[in-house]
Structure 1
């Protein structure tokens, strides 16, 4: 039996999966590593922990599953996006990586907007946000100039891991799309942006495709892991692109709803000229020539976790949500906005905070719990509305994460989105997506679409209930008014926050 390995390089851990030609996961291994928070708003990581954690996981997969090294045909990656790894002329990191959730770069974002103007959206298709990579580059350029002078290029986290495995410095296209240095429509680095910000020649490494072969394992890395130096290594993808592939979002008409700590609505698109005016993200997909539009709710599952920890710490999520099914649509006149840590889509606002609107003495904990679930889903619906306004037709939503574990919430999603919602039989997310890229790269399938047909099994389909759809349509219009109605209040409250 032949296998591929998918590596999901996350923010707090690396996860590896061993997958056979039938799409069955035959082994898993995970290794955790720490974050570094030296100052408020800073979030960094030592790139070496990615390498050591991956080596540990690969050794475990080989040893615990009784397979020979020759049975592993290929490896690919999913990676946390946007993280800056600056390399010197020996390709050694000059400092800790600055991660996606680092927020020190507001000044640099305003500088990017001022210098690029309309070219920012025309070229990169995305607004300048603190999480992206170019603002981090400019921060180092301004605050650590002597160190920056030693930098010859930069890579993103999974691309640094791949370099350590193969000895080749490259950057995969779906991840490059999140740097604000890529011409997304053309799939090539923007020399204009690089020149405007004085970046060195060849500062941006060669671009490779997600299923493209990028070399084989270095003998030393092969020896450390127990793998063969003949094992082929493929480009991989950004974590959201891999999550989309792992959920089968590789065709027009499908969208992904992922509710974790944050929430993501993502849809497949083949028209490179879609214009969202920067209100949603628009990145190159792992599928060649395709793209994905993505909206983000910052505090999706986090809102529900906060509610549970604050009001029902002794209950399990299952017990907390059990009574919700008996609460009517609209939670008896109660709305919740999930702005606990600000919001991303459609309001890129770090000041706004959440609200319960319509709270009365007749509401119990079950009403508040349902309102939180509805509010999270309304926030995700705002992204779907932006997709539709741009001419994207969405026929069904594949739901994963915490929102797919509760049947009431799945039905709620179908009713609010107004289209069928489908769960997965075996949800593995970005790790499976990266394994699928290796499977296609190895020639097991001709495309990610063909691989998805073989590897992905769908669960229950939840059809929208017409009566509920109409009620939620009216409630959604009220929900959309809460942001503007509370904006000035939240601005005034800011000075009183701890």
Structure 2
């Protein structure tokens, strides 16, 4: 018996075929082979064509079938993970009306700030657990104000994963977790956020129907089955945003547990049993996948995000030109801890929540032409990413217990030994690395949603590959380097050198 998981990222689409009897992944695929492009029409904007995601789903499914021959009828469920906070608008014929406004697009920052001021911090923080910020609801309001010819044709709005679910099943639906990530959910009333919708003059009818995170969410149509090479009637049984799904894929489900990922963006995600929030909304709280409203079991995910993570390292790779990622890691490791004073602030991928939704751009500090080489720059970028993540973790610690152990898939930036060392010693945490990823997590979620696994039994076959512990000999050096980086950041913020350029 098999389950398929899809992970719709902004760089690529990943797919995994899980043998539920053994808990082993039989095939995995990534499409396209090069990163998908973002459309940047103006500084701070970021859009993608949702139909591109669907086409790459088709290609990734073909790659699965090339790797491992399986009977389509033996696939008993499909799971979907997806890039969070995006906005997809479709008409009554389920045709896309405009490119998706994706997670790192900053155009709606002022829209959200205005809503926060008008509705008041008391309402927004107690009911939404967040500022409306730059999330999906504010992006929809931006479309309403700036593209009324588009807005008037909208039949349903959805998140990227909801769009893929619609392409699979023909049904427009979403989850409570999904609504919360768009600031469409009222945690106090346990309903869609009426006050915010009324203020934005958005009809609740535009929201998709709510389905459970785990469970039947529709069935693959004959048309979708034909292009995918799957069986018509295959149920879609799970969907979640990429960070709740990443946590689920690492069996991070209970209060005090934490997951991290370092792809295009970097995230630390901790599970809480409280409706907690950061007063400045620098980190955010959303509904976790195993929240159970009926049983009044609160499971929320407290999420800090650094937009400029893998994308910063990828940019550096593109300008160095002739190096592979392993070669970059090896060269970076030859530079000393602290990069001989060279500092990188990797804030070059849209508005950064941990900086109060400011879009400040990436900067390099204390560059000395007579001292610093390519090796120092390679290391400074990785350290700057780690220091940015640690800055966010310090904010998280203000909301609750400090994080002492995190789980991560051995992928993306966590493939770098230097990155792992810097992360563990700067944050003083133990890192557990597992043989999993978002697509595999979505496949396991599909098995839970289909009733084949219980939550407790969903992770057999998953292995801890290695454990990285802080080393006393290194901690002081990394903490000193972080202290200098943090001092420079705060100094530049206080002097207005990192002024908002949005």
TM-score norm. by structure 2 comes to 0.87
Of stretches 301-310 and 192-201 in structure 1, the one that deviates more from structure 2 is 301-310
> What is the CA distance between 1:238 and its match in structure 2?
0.7
**What is the CA deviation profile of residues 77-112 of structure 1, one whole-angstrom value per residue up to 9, with x for unaligned ones?**
011222222233444433333322333334423332
Counterpart in the other structure of 1:403: 413
CA distance in 2: counterparts of 1:395 and 1:274, whole angstroms = 20
Matches within 5 A, 1:352-391: 353-357=362-366, 359=368, 361-391=370-400
The answer as to 2:214 corresponding to 1:197 is no
Aligned to 1:28: 28
- Which residue, out of 120, 144, 148, partners 2:124? 120
Displacement, 1:488? 6.3
- In the alignment, is the contact (CA less than 8 A) between 1:246 and 1:456 conserved in 2? no
1:66 aligned to 48, 57, 69, which one? 69
Q: TM-score when scaled to structure 1?
A: 0.87
- Cα deviation, 1:332-373, whole Å, max 9, x if unaligned, reads 444433334566252132125423248584554434433332
Contact map agreement 1:121 1:277 (CA 8 A) in 2: no
Question: Structure 2 CA distance, aligned partners of 1:163 and 1:314?
Answer: 42
Question: Alpha-carbon deviation of 1:252?
Answer: 3.4
CA distance in 2, matches of 1:485, 1:26: 51
Counterpart of 1:337? 345
5 Å matches for 1:122-161?
122-130=126-134, 132-161=135-164
CA RMSD of aligned residues (A): 3.0
| Secondary structure, aligned partner of 1:113 | helix
User: Any unmatched runs of 5+ in structure 1?
Assistant: none
Which range moved further: 11-20 or 365-374? 365-374
Give the deviation of 1:245 after TM superposition: 2.0
Larger mean CA deviation between 142-151 and 281-290 belongs to 142-151
Work out the number of aligned pairs and report it: 489
How far 1:6 sits from its partner (Å)? 0.4
Instruction: Tell me the residue number matched to 2:423.
Output: 413
Q: Indicate which of 473, 476, 479 corresponds to 1:467.
A: 473
- Counterparts of 1:157-236 in structure 2 under 5 Å? 157-184=160-187, 187-236=190-239
Indicate how the Cα distance of structure 1 residues 202 and 390 shifts in structure 2: closer, same or farther if over 3 A, else same.
same
The equivalent of 2:295 in structure 1 is: none
Matches within 5 A, 1:435-446: 435-446=443-454
Aligned to 2:284: 281
Post-superposition shift, 1:237? 0.6
> Which residue number in structure 2 is paired with residue 5 of structure 1?
4
The residue that corresponds to 1:318 in the other structure is: 326
User: How far apart are the structure 1 equivalents of 2:461 and 2:377?
Assistant: 39
